[in-house]
Amino acid sequence: MQKELEENLKPSDSLLDDLFSTQEKRDDDKREKVIQIPIIKIDDFPNHPFLVRNDEAMQDMAESIKTLGVQTPAIVRQKEDGRYELISGHRRKRASETVGFTELPCIVRNLSDIDAVFSMIDSNKQREIILPSEKAKSYKMRLDAMNQQGKRTDLTSVENQQRSKGITSRQLLSEKTGDSQDKIRNFVRLNELIPQILSMVDNSVIQDKSNLQIAMRPAVELSYLTKEQQTVLLEEMVANDSTPSHNQAIRMRKVAEEGKLGENEIRSIMLEAKPNQMEQFKISMEKLGKFFAPDTPPKKIEETIMRALETLRKRERNRSGEAR
């Protein structure tokens, strides 16, 4: 009787198998899996701040994917309607579409709206070139998300202590990115520019000489103009094929704050000659080479030429006096 009772109390092999397989399944469920998802079911991240350019790098990626496939899976999260939202992998998705692939290897993660923003921005921060417009939009998205979250669940204990001490989101972002708070503030200001002027700031970074360029500092000043004033300014820039200097941009902002910046004022300021647009006379080093040693400093060359010209002018004056 005792023996039968002990036998009944022993777990059966099938029960042990069920117990262990269940634990194994639980562990397996926790591991991130790569699954193939139809590209037509994957939507880009809303207001994705990073451009997906059809440049040489994209062509190289497409060729690599065509030969080897997508080596690094994209990150997505599932939406309520059953479709997927792309967190990381917009360039891989575009390249896959380019070579005719219909599926994209993905890892599906359960992310809140706030976590999705952080993850999307962090996954793009290692890009070789991040344009001013991309930084402007991504910094604004991140600051908005940090402010909306209130008490952030993804912060370390140190960061939580900082937040409790009244440290602002911009200060935390500065520590994370390495950009100063002033620089972050300036980048965020660029979001107030109309798209055509914002693209000119990008042109200055990629040195696109076929289009108008404007530097960061004057662009920040122009961001304080209304959209209507910026549109008038854009027309003037296109008509004159020039952009305002930093000083001109400061003046436009000041006049705008006084409520006096109209079409005439913008045109008047833009028509002023700028030092960097004055005609310059240059002599190639090849021509100067027979007069100066190769290692002669440019400043020394300039001083010598000016002294020579002064001497020449004195001689001409003397000759003119003798002729009288």
pLDDT digits (tens, 9 = 90+) for 18-66: 655 565 555 555 678 899 999 999 999 998 989 888 888 899 999 999 9
Looking at residue 310, its pLDDT comes to 82
pLDDT (mean) for 270-295: 68
Q: Both 162 and 109 in a single domain?
A: no
Residue holding tokens 């899976």? 73
Q: What is the pLDDT of residue 288?
A: 74
Task: Characterize 289-319 residue by residue with b for buried, 16 or more Cβ atoms within 10 angstroms of its Cβ, and e for exposed.
Answer: eeeeeeeeeeeebeeeeeeeeeeeeeeeeee
Total number of domains constituting the chain: 3
pLDDT band at 278 (very low <50, low <70, confident <90, very high): very low
pLDDT value of residue 265: 95
Does residue 1 belong to any structural domain of this protein? Answer: no
Range of the domain at 246: 211-277
Judgement on whether residues 150 and 81 belong to the same structural domain of the protein: no
Task: Determine contact, residues 228/262, Cβ cutoff 8 Å.
Answer: no
**Within a domain: 321:** no
Q: What tens digit of pLDDT does each residue of 209-260 get?
A: 888 999 999 999 999 999 999 999 999 999 989 999 999 999 999 999 999 9
Residue 242 lies in a domain: yes
Of 183, 187, 184, the residue nearest 198 (C-alpha): 187
pLDDT of 252: 97
Shared-domain flag, residues 121 and 137: no
With 50 as the cut, is the pLDDT of residue 279 above it?
Answer: no
Same domain, 227 and 166: no
Q: Which of 98-107, 149-158, 223-232, 233-242 has the lowest mean pLDDT?
A: 149-158
Contacts of 204 (CB under 8 A, 6+ apart): 213, 214, 215, 216
